[in-house]
Amino acid sequence: MKKYTLTLLGLAFVPWVATAQLLPITQLPDTIVDHLDRSVNRNAERLQELKQQRLIEQQLQKTLAIKAQLLDPLLQLPSVLPILDTRKQLVWNEVEVELGQRAVEREWLLLLSENQWQQVLEVMPALSQYVHTNKGLDSLDLQLIKLRVPESLDSKHMLRQQLPALLAPYLSRNFIYQPQTQAIEVSTTAPQAAIEAADNNMPAAMCELPISLGMVDTAINPKHNAWPNMTERFALIQQHFLPADIATSYSHGTAVAGVLAGANDGLSPLLPSLTLYSAGAFYAQNEYQQGATLDSILQALNWLVAQQSRVINMSLTGPDNPVLSEVVTRLVAKDIILVAAAGNGGPAAAPLYPAAYDGVIAVTAVDDSNRLYRWANQGEYIDFAALGVKVLTTRADGSVGRESGTSMATPVVSAKVACLLASTPTLTLAQAVQQLQQQAQDLGEPGRDSQYGYGLLTRPLKAGL
């Protein structure tokens, strides 16, 4: 067939002619027809599966989008939170500061020796008018000076300009630290059936040796019926480091103590012969949350050193700062072992402190199937994992229930370290960590990893390693 070129308004067109190709109709064999039918059915089923999978994925995306809009409980605190005493009088304002951290409004801490403080006053005598308290941390050979400054000086830049260059690094806001148990889990009470099941499968103690252990936390309810005989098996020595007129908070510390020493209602103590030195540093921020000032935490640590506590449980986290860092460095130099919660910030969260400091044993949490707690921090600073999800423990109201978080895992590791030291008191931190590595079950990637650290630690203490 010929092709013609048509010209219209100066444009050339080439007509396109299609030819139809007809195939002859033939009868296909039955086997081929059956095969085609099965293929069509399989494809239809696959399409239906893909459609259902797409619907599930869309629903998951909607769920994740909703969850992403839900604020972390800590972020739900108002930017200014008045802390009141029992007479409803203002004690201080807790405020949001740089990087979303929280601190006491316009309060700053200086950690110095007595001689260094005198040098500061010589350079900046006007600073003395802002001194709110000056407390000796005698166990650490330091002075803790708390300043309340005007707004014009309420920044690290402004204050450091006033200090001698060598002393400026020992300055920090009076930051607020948080316990590391998720409130979403706290409200669930363990059913009686679960408690009875736990009674029938009581795990062994970490060790039977007499143990002395320190902890910085909320106060502990001393009247809970889960404590064994106070004079023979469990001695609780408490000291509080908050203003006397602030209402005492008991919830978190009671839960941590229950993991260590609870001995009925389905609870099996990690340490059946325990002297527990409890330094109460937390106040109630609201009905569900507690906070501790850096000031109170440092005083608590100083007291625990004076009680000769070689192992200190710290189920709390907060920001890095030079004041806490210096205290941790001094404690490590004294062969005091700090065991701290890694944090419940989530897999992508920044490192939290004191767990992320060198010389501190950082603990993450797993469930009873060794799966990592979904809100646990991850990172190179993680050292060990322990059971910390839906842990049966004591409540401040006298009941027993389930708690989750890296807070609940931390006392497991503290108990193991304390048992190691009780059997070999001369162990250094490095030697204790080495023995813990030998006791750990490797999880995740072979060797140390950012999720489980060196691996899972469980009860009892293994002998002869």
Looking up tokens 């809100």 gives 375
The pair of three-digit structure tokens given for residue 194, joined into one six-digit string: 């679960």
Task: Indicate which residue of 212, 273, 315, 407 is catalytic.
Answer: 407
How far, in Å, are 15, 16, 145, 377 from residue 1 at the CA level?
A: 11, 11, 103, 76
- C-alpha 300/C-alpha 408 separation (Å) is 20
3-state secondary structure (DSSP) of residue 46: helix
Catalytic option among 217, 265, 295, 383: 217
CA distance 90 to 188: 33
Among 422, 445, 216, residue whose Cα is nearest residue 328: 216
Q: Where are the alpha helices (DSSP H) in 70-125?
A: 114-123
Q: Is 368 one of the annotated active-site residues of the chain?
A: no
- Based on the residue annotation, tell me whether 252 is a catalytic residue of this protein: yes
Tokens 């797993």 -> residue: 366
Q: DSSP code of 127?
A: G
**Choice among 252, 315, 325, 383 that is catalytic:** 252
Is residue 312 within 8 A of residue 301, CB to CB? The reply is yes
Q: Which helix (H) or strand (E) holds 254?
A: helix 251-261
- Two structure tokens written together for 286: 């609201």
Active site includes 251?
A: no
Which of 355, 317, 286 minimizes the C-alpha distance to 177? 317
Whole-number Å distance between alpha carbons of 193 and 15: 85
What is the rounded distance in angstroms from the CA atom of residue 190 to the CA atom of residue 395? 11
Backbone angles phi, psi at 185, to 5 degrees: -90, -20
Residue 153: φ, ψ to 5°: -110, 5
* Residue 113 to residues 117, 135, 171, 350, 435, Cα–Cα distance (Å): 6, 11, 13, 32, 36
- Measured N-to-C along each axis, helices 251-261 and 406-423 cross at an angle, to the nearest 10 degrees, of 40
What are the distances in angstroms from CA 21 to CA 1, 16, 24, 28? 16, 16, 10, 20
Report the 10 Å Cβ neighbour count for 185: 17
How many residues are given for the chain? 465
Q: Quick one: which H or E segment has residue 62?
A: helix 30-69
Question: What residues act catalytically?
Answer: 217, 252, 407
